[in-house]
Chains A and B, each alone.
Chain A
Amino acid sequence: MQISIFRSETNTHQNYRLPAGEIPLLSALVYIKETLDATLTFSAGCRASVCGTCAVRVNGREELACSYKVKPGDVIEPLQYHPVLRDLKVDKERAMATLKQGTTWLQEFREASLSHQDEKRTEKQTDCILCDACYSACPVFAVNPEFLGPFALTRAFRYTEDGREGDAKSIIDTIQTNGVWDCTLCGECTAVCPKGIDPKMDITMLRGESVKHGHADPSFATQSFGTPDFGGGGFGFDPNAGF
């Protein structure tokens, strides 16, 4: 079987021939490096979908190399919106900085009586392995590199939902700029998450929380009508038109 891998040195795709058989993409990359081409560069760690190191794009879709079964003709490329350091290896610093930007940590601990139901409220969100697949799939970064992005917002949601969080408002206030309202709710992040997390839903929930804390969708605020909008958004009655 033949697959094609992006090589940064030449800025082209290079074909590699693999023995037939169903293997994880990561095993294929290791095979290539060990036997065909030691210069092929990628990142890998645990082999078990939990260290978040090996995400790449396969035929334009984000996958963990360790859990994707390689198929003939696959095209392997590095994550988007990350500077490519070499071949499939990217610089994650900018993406990781969104966690700091979003202050995604427990702001103020208060003791709580947590139940099994409370555990369930953030079980999925805390499965996040920071693989950056969602960040790479998010189209907002094409227009706004300052966007907080899906994984940081999911993590923000996880702390605001935690019964031990004594100051959820502080997180909510922080994620208003380049945050919850900048998402287009396209759902690409949810589609590619290898852990089955749903950042789109988390962002939707955060919007609700934002409103409760007195924030509003800034795209409404900048529209020309000064009266409350009763739904509809894009179309409606413009009081200044034609009168």
Chain B
Amino acid sequence: MIDVLIIGSGGAGLSAALAAKEAGASVLVAGKMYPTNSQTSMAQGGMNAALGNVEEDHIALHIQDTVKSAHGLCDEDMVRQMCGDAPRTVEWLESIGVPFSRLNSDTQGIKTIAQRQMGGASAKRACYAQDYTGLKILHTLYDTCLKEGIKFIDEHYLLNLIVDGGLTPDQTAKGATFLNIRTGRVRQIDAKSVVMATGGYGSIYHGFTTNMYGATGDGIAAVLRAGGALSDMEFIQFHPTALKHSCILISESARGEGGYLLNEDGERFIDELKPRDEVARAIFAQMKEGRRVFLDVRHLGEKKLMELLPQEVELCKMHEHVDPSRELIPIKPVAHYSMGGIDVDYALEVNGIKGCFAAGECSNAKVHGANRLGGNSLLEITAFGRFAGENASKHALYASSKPADDSQRKRDEAEIESLFTQESSESFYTYREMLGELFYEKVGIVRNNVQLNEALEEVIAMQVAQKRMGISDKSRSNNQNLIEFLEFKSALLLAPAVISAAIARDESRGAHYKIGFEEENDAFKKHLVMQWKKEV
């Protein structure tokens, strides 16, 4: 039986794997794609660490900025830990070879790393690698995993966690069941501890998100089904600048480097470097008044753009037919990051499931609160990814090595089997689109209780309709139709959790903004936690 099973092979999963292995544990990483395909590759702007390489900076300031942006909903001890760990984490990334952008200085090691401005930051704090920061961190992590002999099983879709003592306070993770996408067979993997590193749920906003297709919160849904707790699900960050027609992300660093936001009358209407929630709302207000909004980086000049933001230039040309050095870039705010997720304690252990840890976007370690700062997610996945891996390996030391029985696997086999026989009279693809539109429209940047309640009713109707949906591809092997249906089911399971939390929070705080309740209310300075209970 392996010591640590890591589910998800993005930046958090790979960091956890390396730390667990370093601690002496046997490690297996299971993911639904190949490791370097993960969404970490899409992170562009940078990773925060108060190195003070460009201008004076202190860990205390990083903590202060993060706490301020979180609007009272973070746990300051966790923020302190993350920000305090940041320089050390950059040092670790430096030691494995991450190709950071550099300054010309006479210094050594991480003091040579270039740092840029991001929104809500009181200093130039984001370490970067051009605008490919996530890609280059992810690939270097992967190279290091190969060096360390980490074992991977690719194309394994998580079905369920296996827990001992189901839905009791002492229940413990014993492994997980997966659908082997290639063979179509259900497989059980036993483990002494489990790390969830499965990413966020931004793809509920299908068609209105910067996220990749698969960011459907599969791991979060699995934790919910297994009796673990979720929290702060109503907090979804909208990124101010996605390309208008394709929703492809244009990094905040475009504004950090001096880009402006203009409305169609050519006027600037907001300080572009305010936190993302405020900028997104300001853009949304312009659009509500019927004005188009643009990002303007023309004054930076072609040379500087190609130096600092080469990927953005390429994406604008490709998807929007716009040359950013000469033309305005049409943009709109879309769903980008889920602050909420699996509720974890100080050791990143899932509340409600012992021996199960969570790190990265899938987890709610309460470091982002009501609004995440740009540059803090790459920090979280690496710093807390490692922390989760360390803690999972410690748990494995004294965990029972008696494997679980095969009852979960049998249930999952039966469930998958039923999907092959189930008649499908309605296409879930249509509902996937509808769900995305519904969320952008009614659970979006500016919310109100009437629309939220309508959304909840519509989502419940969709859950009822789900019985009429199914797969039309009946192939056992490599059935992408089946995987997409399972992903849609994850999204649809989490959708009411997001909406009901949004309904319950009668105030405005960070990314959650509600008409009629436009102020922060101290009575809501708390986390909304939800968990399934055993029926008695």
Q: Which residues of A contact B (CB under 8 A)?
A: 24, 33-35, 38-39, 41-53, 67, 85-86, 89, 91-93, 96, 99-100, 103-106, 109, 111-119, 122-123, 126-130, 155, 158-159, 162, 164-165
Contacts and interface: CB of A to CB of B under 8 A. Distances in A.
Please provide the 5 A-B residue pairs with the shortest distance between their CB atoms, ordered closest to farther.
A106-B97, A86-B478, A34-B429, A105-B143, A105-B147
A46 B212 contact: yes
Contact of B248 (A38, A39, A48, A100): A48
A160 to B, nearest CB: 11
Nearest to A130: B36
B139 A128 contact: yes
Contacts of A158: 99
B472 interface: yes
A51 B132 CA distance: 11
Nearest to B39: A46
B63 interface: no
Contacts of A96: 34
Nearest to B42: A46
Contact of B36 (A52, A85, A116, A126): A52
Given A49-B315, A123-B99, A127-B132, A34 B427 contact: yes
Interface residues of B, number: 61
Given A53-B33, A128-B139, 5 more contacts: A46-B39, A47-B246, A50-B132, A118-B102, A164-B94
A49 B108 CA distance: 34
Interface in B127-152: 129-130, 132, 135-136, 139-140, 143-144, 146-147
A34 B430 CA distance: 8
B143 A155 contact: yes
User: Which of A45, A89, A106, A111 counts the most chain B CB atoms within 10 A?
Assistant: A45
Contact of B102 (A53, A92, A104, A116): A116
A99 B480 CA distance: 27
Nearest to A165: B97
A114 B41 contact: no
Contacts of A165: 97
Contacts of B109: 111-113
Contacts of B146: 99-100, 104-105
A129 B135 contact: yes
A162 to B, nearest CB: 6
A105 B97 CA distance: 8
Nearest to B474: A39
Contacts of A106: 95-97, 140, 143-144, 147
Interface string B146-166: 110000001000000000000
B285 interface: no
B129 A109 contact: no
B360 to A, nearest CB: 16
Contact of A41 (B214, B248, B249, B480): B480
A164 B135 CA distance: 20
B182 interface: yes
8 contacts: A38-B472, A43-B480, A50-B41, A51-B41, A111-B109, A114-B102, A123-B130, A165-B97
Contact of A49 (B38, B140, B314): B314
B318 interface: yes
Nearest to A96: B34
A47 B481 contact: no
A89 B37 contact: no
B521 interface: no
A44 B213 contact: yes
Nearest to A121: B99
A105 to B, nearest CB: 4
Given A45-B214, A105-B143, A105-B147, A129 B41 contact: yes
A114 B114 CA distance: 11
B97 A47 contact: no
A35 B428 CA distance: 11
A34 B105 CA distance: 54
B99 A39 contact: no
A8 to B, nearest CB: 9
B100 interface: yes
Contacts of B479: 41
Interface in B153-192: 154, 182
B129 A89 contact: no
A113 B106 contact: yes
Contact of B318 (A49, A51, A89, A164): A49
A53 B31 CA distance: 14
A181 B104 CA distance: 36
Given A48-B248, A53-B37, A105-B144, A112 B108 contact: yes
Contacts of B97: 105-106, 109, 159, 162, 164-165
B109 to A, nearest CB: 5
Given A39-B475, A89-B480, A116 B103 contact: yes
A100 B36 CA distance: 15
Interface in B79-94: 94
Contacts of B407: none
A85 B94 contact: no
Nearest to A128: B139
B182 A46 contact: no
Contacts of A41: 478-480
Contacts of A130: 34, 36, 139
Nearest to B44: A50
B102 A119 contact: yes
Given A67-B318, A106-B97, A113 B112 contact: yes
B101 interface: yes
B356 interface: no
Contacts of A89: 478, 480
A3 B109 CA distance: 53
B523 to A, nearest CB: 40
Given A33-B481, A105-B97, A115-B104, A86 B475 contact: yes
A41 to B, nearest CB: 5
A42 B246 CA distance: 20
B481 A126 contact: no
A122 B212 contact: no
A51 B42 contact: yes
B106 A126 contact: no
A36 to B, nearest CB: 11
A86 B100 CA distance: 38
